[in-house]
Amino acid sequence: MGEAKVITDQKDARNFAMKNIFAPRLAILSGIATLLLVLAGTDYFTSPASEGGSPAFAAGLFTVAVMLFAAMFLRSRDNQITVIICVLSVIAATYAAEVYVSLRMGRDEAGQVDPLKDARLKVEVVDDLVAKGVHRVAPLGVYPMFQSSKGMLQPLSGLSNSHSVGCNEQGEWIVFELDRFGYNNPSNTVWESSPDIAVVGASTSFGLCVRPGESLTDRLRMVWPKTLNLSFIGSGPASFLRRIYEYLPALRPKVVLIEYNDWLLGALNRENLVSLGFGGQPPTLIGERIGLIEMQDEIDAAIVKEINAAQTEERPRVKAIREGTNPFSLDALKNLMLISSIRKSLDRSRIFAAFADKRARKTVSMSPKELAAIPEASPANLETLRLVLQRAKEFVAGWGGRVVFVYMPLYPTFDQHVRAGFTLHDKTVQIAREVGVDVIDLEYALYDHPEPFSMFSAGGGHYNTAGHKYVGDGIIDAIKKTDLLAEGNSGSKKR
């Protein structure tokens, strides 16, 4: 009998602890977990697809939240605790996975969290190079328009003859040695004779985020050594046309390749035509020079002034980060709560499947109603693109050259700007053909690749070295199938 009483007392003690100590605390945790799931589910449900919105995944989160909430009202305390512990364990494992994925995929404010990657911020890289005595160091960026001697002017290149620190998408900071006009060419000798090819474009043609010598333009240069890179980051078609007007008349290249992708229609819509020297309403985009070559010193002075101001403002923030006094990032907490990194990771395969599968493209393409709400998809913007290509063709034809419109594949996302470009792909190519320029359409070149995401850097949406090689070789093969550069075909170097 005494032994039975001891067992009864132990059960009573356990029941008391579960009812009055453990259960209330578990209920609090359950309430917090339920709230997190509801917040995450709401974010998933309301976010556009470009930000990882997924109604199906949201429904799953809501379901788990309802199960957890309902478990708190089970009559049996044992069953209640068992179910709650099981669900909380799954939730805890999910958030642990989120922390792991975010550490693998992302960067914190202090830079790359992977110890094998360069964790310095760009301003620190610039300062380190200056301390080592490197000449004329600058952070690569899209520099704002400034008041020049000829009115408001948008810089179309980087700081001339500089060592410009680019990006760190592949674990190391890439430093570019820009030429005398601020473009990514291996030397200034390319400006001394007529090139076979001039490549005019934005980040991709520039070679952003890959080492010098590894870009698609460098691939072209391996076959046609006299290739001029006239591309710069963050620019659009109107900027391309201005570069053609300013830099190419004296050089007279045989072929002018114009970069294009699903994003650039939006870039065209955002370009300030007046700051690019295209005044008048409606703009005619007539080929008159501003004189950017002669204004190089003035442009450099404006860029240096902007860089100095930005670096001065940035250094205290970097110091605070390194000393650990920077306030806790609310965005980081929000991303953790909303399981953002896992969402991005899971969405990658879904995105490419939707882009690549013809049957699923209706989920990517926009309806006419959706397109009507996107300014860059307006008929007026498309006509501006038509006019850019028309003016480029007419101008280059003046010295017997030819323009080639190169549609390049882009990192797939459900961003509305990319979706708009994707939807208007056929229309855009049709415009180029109607204008009468040659077209190299590589829009779907990566979708037949067995591992398309391997063509892009893990830290962003730009091509990695493999991507530049794949797309660059596609352009080379397309050119060789035409009569654009017959001499280059016969005398090309082995790749």
pLDDT single digits (tens) 140-174: 999 999 999 999 999 999 999 999 999 988 888 99
pLDDT single digits (tens) 339-351: 666 666 666 656 6
Length of the chain measured in residues? 495
How far apart are alpha carbons 331 and 249 in whole angstroms? 49
Q: Of 109, 102, 124, give the one whose Cα is nearest residue 326.
A: 109
How far apart are alpha carbons 89 and 83 in whole angstroms? 10
Residue 457 banded pLDDT, cuts 50, 70, 90: confident
In this model, does residue 20 exceed pLDDT 70? no
In this model, does residue 369 exceed pLDDT 80? yes
CA distances from 332 to 46, 114, 115 (A): 20, 17, 20
Residue 2: per-residue pLDDT? 46
Residue 342: per-residue pLDDT? 66
N-term to C-term CA, the chain: 92
| 202 Ramachandran zone, left/alpha/beta (phi>0; psi -120 to 50) | beta
- In this structure, what are the phi and psi dihedrals at residue 148, rounded to the nearest 5 degrees? -100, 180
Residue 408: per-residue pLDDT? 94
pLDDT single digits (tens) 231-270: 999 999 999 999 999 999 999 999 999 999 999 999 999 9
* Cβ proximity of 62 and 46 under 8 Å: no
Least confident of 99-113, 196-210, 390-404: 99-113
Least confident of 11-25, 248-262, 392-406: 11-25
Instruction: For residue 53, count CB atoms less than 10 angstroms from its CB and return exposed for 0-12, middle for 13-18, buried for 19 or more.
Output: middle
* Cβ proximity of 422 and 263 under 8 Å: no
Residue 245: per-residue pLDDT? 98
How far apart are alpha carbons 438 and 389 in whole angstroms? 11
Residue 287 banded pLDDT, cuts 50, 70, 90: confident
The predicted model scores a pTM of: 0.77
Give me 284's structure tokens. 């005619």
How far apart are alpha carbons 338 and 140 in whole angstroms? 33
- Tokens 């072929």 belong to residue: 255
Residue 489 banded pLDDT, cuts 50, 70, 90: very low
How far apart are alpha carbons 109 and 321 in whole angstroms? 7
Other C-beta atoms lying within 10 Å of the C-beta of residue 439: 17
Is residue 91 helix, strand or coil? helix
Output the average pLDDT for the chain. Answer: 81
pLDDT single digits (tens) 370-383: 899 999 999 999 99
